[in-house]
Amino acid sequence: MDLGIDGNAALVTAGTAGLGLASAEALARANCDVAVCGRDTDRLAQAEAQLESLGDGDVLAVEADITDEAELEGFVGKTIETFGRLDHVVTSAGGPPSGPFAETTDEEWYDAYDLLVMSVVRTVRAAQPTLSEDGGGTVVNITSRSVKEVIDDLVLSNSVRRAVIGLMKTLSHEFAPDVRVNAVMPGAHETSRIEELVEQGVERGDYADYESGLDDWSEGIPLERVGDPEELGETVAWLSSDRASYINGASVPVDGGSTRSV
């Protein structure tokens, strides 16, 4: 499907790995100019090369920590300066530490809030004036299915990510009609993080091999498999396009049907 966003400019935070990178790749395949940021310089260079190979748009890769306000605002500013426009923002972040409530410290709570919520606040605040120009743009927040249905031992993700959904719904009213704001709620996808966890399980003897480990992760998913990150990325790119022009304030599950709540 032609998404009709050729020549648009898109920014993806934490876009050098996982679902952030998958989203940046989908936007690059749609011939957008794409900017990504990350803290690991090697991973940043790899992502830049990968994105440059996918479409006709330009690529900007900036070393920035999304929990650092000045670096994050600098990333947004450099994107606008480089591309001369900004049409689409995708917010992504790594997951906070796992663990039960009783073992979670105050510092971990504040760190999770900075990582998951304030990174979104600061990115959108810096981008919104430009997003609203020339007919408007889009924001897509990558969250987790934990905002819909809590996951054992993920008290930080279960609790803190929900603030992003509240923010998204608010902005979908405040920014309309110029800017559409939506979210995706991914379930398990075969990112490098899941690959690492499965491989560790194989080493411990929990799984006979990698495939049996993936099968374990697929338990309870009606489609009987974990997701391909590309599937999530294509959903994000579609929500960013005019093909989804009447979708605003939506939280879209991308989880193979694993979430049981209505």
pLDDT higher than threshold 80 for residue 252: yes
Same domain, 54 and 171: yes
241 & 183 share domain: yes
Please give the pLDDT value at position 34. Answer: 98
**Can you tell me the distance from the alpha carbon of 136 to that of 19, in angstroms, rounded to the nearest whole number?**
25
What are 58's two structure tokens?
């330009």
Average per-residue pLDDT for the chain = 95
d(CA 161, CA 221): 22
158 plus 218 within the same structural domain:
no
Residues 6+ apart with CB under 8 A from 139: 88, 89, 90, 91, 124, 127, 131, 168, 171, 175, 179, 180, 181, 182
Element (H, E) at 89: strand 88-91
Tokens of 202: 């194989």
**Judgement on whether residues 125 and 215 belong to the same structural domain of the protein:** no
Classify residue 24: in a domain, yes or no.
Answer: yes
Q: What number is the average pLDDT over the span 190-198?
A: 87
SS3 143: coil
Verify that 138 and 80 share a domain, yes or no: yes
Parent domain of 221: 190-226
Domain count within the chain: 2
pLDDT digits (tens, 9 = 90+) for 74-100: 999 999 999 999 999 999 998 898 889
Phi, psi (deg, nearest 5) at residue 254? -130, 75
- 1 pLDDT higher than 80: no
Q: Is residue 236 pLDDT above 80, yes or no?
A: yes
**Together in a domain, 164 and 194:** no
Q: Report the C-alpha gap between 219 and 208 in whole angstroms.
A: 16
CATH number, domain with residue 155: 3.40.50.720
Please state, for a pLDDT cut of 90, what percent of the chain lies above it. 88
Same domain, 202 and 183: no
Q: 132 in a domain, yes or no?
A: yes
Please tell me the number of Cα atoms within 13 Å of 108 on its side-chain side: 16
pLDDT more than 70, % of the chain: 100
What tens digit of pLDDT does each residue of 6-53 get?
999 999 999 999 999 999 999 999 999 999 999 999 999 999 999 999
- Looking at residue 192, what is its pLDDT? 85
Q: For residue 174, give the 3-state DSSP assignment.
A: helix
Per-position DSSP letters for 6-18, written without gaps between them: TT-EEEETTTTSH
Q: Do residues 20 and 106 share a domain?
A: yes
Q: Is residue 256 part of a domain?
A: no
pTM: 0.95
User: Are 72 and 167 within one domain?
Assistant: yes
- Are residues 31 and 109 in contact, defined by beta-carbon separation less than 8 angstroms? no
Are 70 and 112 in the same domain? yes
The 3-state secondary structure of 32-77, one letter per residue: CEEEEEECCHHHHHHHHHHHHCCCCCCEEEEECCCCCHHHHHHHHH
Indicate whether 124 and 200 sit together in one domain: no
The answer to whether residue 155 is domain-embedded is yes
For residues 199 and 100, state if they share a domain.
no
pLDDT value of position 262? 80
